[in-house]
């Protein structure tokens, strides 16, 4: 039995440990933010002379003064569109099934272990998988569709794992109250579990898409073009049926590959436009994350605990 003095001393030690941990975490976060800001500022200063309207509207060229990034950032947007449309519905549905519907047996345990292991597989392995399965097996060729589906396979385990963690964080009492009122399992999942876990699910989607937009290894493996001087056909057409899917089968390039191509050139002017393309990539990533964070904030505001 501890005396009152011993209890107070124990509480003080625990508070001191909490304070030390909080201060240490704050210092580490500030140092990392400072380093990130310094790196981005250096990149911005190096690439600022090339950040003009012509740079965004121009096509790649062997002359640095005429080189532009239009096919690269358009290709990145289209590839990420395919990635999100393929990975998000499948990943969320798989996470819901594993957490809410799957029976607890040997098969699901093996499945869960494999999903967790796949989240740590190097991206080049997914590139080889996409090359064998999508490019040669399904004959999609070196296209936007093959690139988007390859990146979707890469981020799918991340989306599944974070979806499961978000669903698992929903209090069990909410499910029990809904079941007590006569709701079915699907009604409980649709009307209660998913609305409360949507913020965590969006966090997983942010992490997955942020990883995908900067990848080069899997895209180079499936045959992304380092120099391309045309745009894919527009997805929206002025004539009926107004939607075109021809762009899915066209060759492509993305911002990281275009930046790698320019960095490998010996001309110093190419280093400037490579830095400018790095700024574009960072801004695209931050914009995508900002939209997802805004959606997550809106989802949290609608929740009433």
- Determine, yes or no, domain membership for 1: no
Looking at residue 24, what is its pLDDT?
Answer: 93
- Determine, yes or no, domain membership for 175: yes
Range of the domain at 86: 52-302
Looking at residue 30, what is its pLDDT?
Answer: 94
- Determine, yes or no, domain membership for 40: no
Looking at residue 258, what is its pLDDT?
Answer: 87
| pLDDT tops 80 at residue 282 | yes
Task: Provide the whole-model pTM.
Answer: 0.85
Q: What number of CA atoms fall less than 13 Å from residue 294's CA on the CB side?
A: 6
Radius of gyration of the chain (CA): 24
Question: Are 101 and 185 within 8 A, CB to CB?
Answer: yes
- Determine, yes or no, domain membership for 239: yes
- Determine, yes or no, domain membership for 47: no
- Determine, yes or no, domain membership for 3: no
Higher pLDDT, 133 or 223: 133
Question: Are 76 and 284 within 8 A, CB to CB?
Answer: yes
| pLDDT tops 60 at residue 304 | no
- Determine, yes or no, domain membership for 163: yes
Per-residue buried b or exposed e for 121-145, using 16+ beta carbons within 10 Å of the residue's own CB: eebeebbebbbeebbeeeebebbbb
CATH number of the domain encompassing residue 230: 1.10.3720.10
Select, from the ranges 13-22, 144-153, 249-258, the one with the highest average predicted confidence (pLDDT): 144-153
Looking at the structure of the chain, the number of domains it has is 1
């Amino acid at each position: 039995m501890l005396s009152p003095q011993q209890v107070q001393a124990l509480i003080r030690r625990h508070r001191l440990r909490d304070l030390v941990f909080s201060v240490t975490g704050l210092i580490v976060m500030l140092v990392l933010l400072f380093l990130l800001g310094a790196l981005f500022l250096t990149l911005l200063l190096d690439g600022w002379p090339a950040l003009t309207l012509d740079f965004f509207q121009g096509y790649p060229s062997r002359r640095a003064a005429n080189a532009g990034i239009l096919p690269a950032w358009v290709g990145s947007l289209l590839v990420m569109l395919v990635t999100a449309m393929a990975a998000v519905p499948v990943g969320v549905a798989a996470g819901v099934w594993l957490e809410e519907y799957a029976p607890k047996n040997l098969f699901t345990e093996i499945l869960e272990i494999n999903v967790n292991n796949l989240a740590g597989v190097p991206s080049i392995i997914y590139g080889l998988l996409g090359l064998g399965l999508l490019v040669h097996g399904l004959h999609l060729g070196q296209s936007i569709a093959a690139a988007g589906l390859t990146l979707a396979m890469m981020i799918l385990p991340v989306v599944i794992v974070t979806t499961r963690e978000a669903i698992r964080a929903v209090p069990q009492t909410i499910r029990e109250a809904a079941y007590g009122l006569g709701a079915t399992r699907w009604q409980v999942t649709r009307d209660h579990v998913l609305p409360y876990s949507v913020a965590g699910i969006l966090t997983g989607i942010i992490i997955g898409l942020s990883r995908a937009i900067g990848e080069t290894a899997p895209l180079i493996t499936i045959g992304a073009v380092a120099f391309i001087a045309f745009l894919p056909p527009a997805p929206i057409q002025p004539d009926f049926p107004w939607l075109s899917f021809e762009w899915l089968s066209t060759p492509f390039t993305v911002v990281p590959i275009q930046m790698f191509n320019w960095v490998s050139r010996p001309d110093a002017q190419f280093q400037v436009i490579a830095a400018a393309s790095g700024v574009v990539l960072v801004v695209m990533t931050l914009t995508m994350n900002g939209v997802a964070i805004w959606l997550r904030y809106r989802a949290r505001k609608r929740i009433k605990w």
